[in-house]
Amino acid sequence: PRKVIWAASGKPVLAYETVVTGVQKDGTPSRLHVITDAATGKKLYQYQAIENGKGNSQYSGKVTVGSKKVGSSYELTDKARGNHRTYDLKHAESGTGKLFKDANDVWGNGKPSNAQTAAVDAAYGAQLTWDYYKSVHGRKGINGDGKGATSRVHYG
């Protein structure tokens, strides 16, 4: 734990911030930050640092996907898995594409007519691949360097 001054509730108090890592109920990684009053031991606040969006995949149904809040919207970036990002090539055959963004962190509708649906399938597949390499081979990412892959959908 690290000492912090917690002033979110008005009066500043000496507190400890503890980060608890593990796995959430749905199998995704967890990085839970717990703020505890240093004098009383009472929990003042907690938040989950790993953000997960709700995805509607064409091939896997309802899934969770790593996402990142940026301002008032979300982007399809998985911070828990090396910052894997999913881009829309918009039928181009080269280039980076445009990073998928969304207002409510609910991605796709499970149908191919929705551009986000393919992004969910790509992000979810990359997530499963990362988790496989970590649990079976003890590696963070395909190359073991902690860097996530980049997915691009809607090629050509």
In order of start, what are the domains of the chain with their CATH numbers? 2-48 (no CATH), 52-153 (3.10.170.10)
Q: What are the helix (H) ranges across the chain? A: 115-137
What are the residues facing 29 on neighbouring strands?
23
Residues in the chain with pLDDT < 50?
none
Within 10 A of 37 (CB to CB), how many other CB atoms are there? 14
CA 52/CA 156 separation, integer angstroms:
29
> pTM for the complete prediction?
0.72
pLDDT digits (tens, 9 = 90+) for 74-105: 999 998 899 999 999 999 999 999 999 999 99
Q: Is 137 helix (H, G, I), strand (E, B) or coil?
A: helix
Q: Compute the Cα dihedral for 144, 145, 147, 151 and give only its sign.
A: negative
Residue tagged 């839970």 (tokens)? 32
